[in-house]
């Protein structure tokens, strides 16, 4: 979770640095923002689909350790 927060702060900092410039890079920043949003949606979907599988696996491992 900590690594995710560090990545989030890095991305936000990068966007703040690039948005504060007064040049003609607006179109590419919009494209980067859309790409970032797409990646975020895919990552969230992967977590939703894999979350139950990972949870079940960890529960099985924990149960095996408790029974040992």
Q: Does residue 19 carry a pLDDT above 60?
A: yes
Contact 23, 34 (CB under 8 A): no
Per-residue pLDDT tens for 36-52?
A: 999 999 988 888 888 88
Using alpha carbons, list the distances in angstroms from residue 52 to 39, 49, 58, 67.
Answer: 21, 7, 10, 22
26 pLDDT tier (thresholds 50, 70, 90): low
Burial 41-50 (b: 16+ CB within 10 A, else e): eeeeeeeeee
Could you tell me where the beta strands, DSSP code E, fall in the chain?
none
Contact 40, 51 (CB under 8 A): no
């Amino acid at each position: 979770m900590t690594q995710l927060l560090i990545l989030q702060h890095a991305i936000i900092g990068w966007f703040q640095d690039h948005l504060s410039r007064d040049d003609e890079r607006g179109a590419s920043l919009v494209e980067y923002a859309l790409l970032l949003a797409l990646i975020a949606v895919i990552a969230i979907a992967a977590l939703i689909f894999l979350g139950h599988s990972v949870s079940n696996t960890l529960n099985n491992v924990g149960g095996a350790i408790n029974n040992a």
